Amino acid sequence: MQLGPDLPVGVPSFDLSEDEVETVIALTCRGAREARANVTPGMLEVPISIRVRKAMRQVKKQLGLTNLEVRGEHELEDMSTNDSSLLGRIDITLKFRRQFGDEDDYIAIECKRVGAGGAYSVLNGRYVSEGVARFVNGQYAVGHAWGFMLGYVLSLPVDQVIDTIGTRLCKDYGKDAKLTPRTCHQDALTVKVGRLVQQSGHTIRLCHLFVDMTPAA
């Protein structure tokens, strides 16, 4: 795991360097692996994600990574109004040092449970309709180059999960949303990436991290 220099990548920068992308992937997947020992059968997404966030912070400290911050559930205010409305709440966010000072510049990780087999068809559908959709409809990561989905796989094989979700993504968002392989991390079942067009017309790359969370089934 390497961190790039603490310099902006563009002005303003909503992009990530390749080293930063790899750091996010490694920290998230390793955190999920560490958290797996502390989940219990039937556990829902929120308590799983809290355990993953805590594990990510512990891993970050162990590795001496002082150039980024892991944050808990993050509220996104709707700045187009003066009332108390929110755009949504992101499960996990990260910020590299260079991103501080701009509230709109962050790394979003949305977490959802998924699984192979008919028993998980509703959860697999929500991965798209209540997860991926938020990167498209203006709730999360507006204008960002990268977003991240973290899939807690409750039932194997993962290839079946990928086929189901990939088909739904292409149906809803077109062929560019197709899940294509990215170099897998040792603590992930698989890592995929696809492209989505946000409401503004901006294209975001969405990295899908699928991790073993079968003890929570």
Q: CA–CA separation, 135 vs 57, rounded Å?
A: 25
pLDDT at 77: 52
Asked whether the beta carbons of 23 and 143 are under 8 A apart, the reply is no
Look up residue 196 and give its two tokens: 């989505």
pTM: 0.88
The answer to whether residue 93 scores a pLDDT higher than 80 is: yes
Mean pLDDT of all residues belonging to the chain: 88
Amino acid at 69: E
Does residue 23 sit in helix, strand or coil?
A: helix
> What is the band of 80 on the pLDDT scale with cuts at 50, 70, 90?
low
Percent of the chain with pLDDT over 90: 76
The answer to whether residue 103 scores a pLDDT higher than 80 is: no
Look up residue 161 and give its two tokens: 């999960």
Q: CA–CA separation, 87 vs 97, rounded Å?
A: 24
The residues that bridge with 74 in the sheet, in sequence order, are: 90
The mean per-residue pLDDT over the stretch 4-24 comes to 68
Helix ranges (DSSP H) in 75-157: 121-127, 133-136
The answer to whether residue 7 scores a pLDDT higher than 60 is: no
Does residue 25 sit in helix, strand or coil?
A: helix
Q: How are beta strands 107-114 and 74-77 bridged, if at all?
A: unpaired
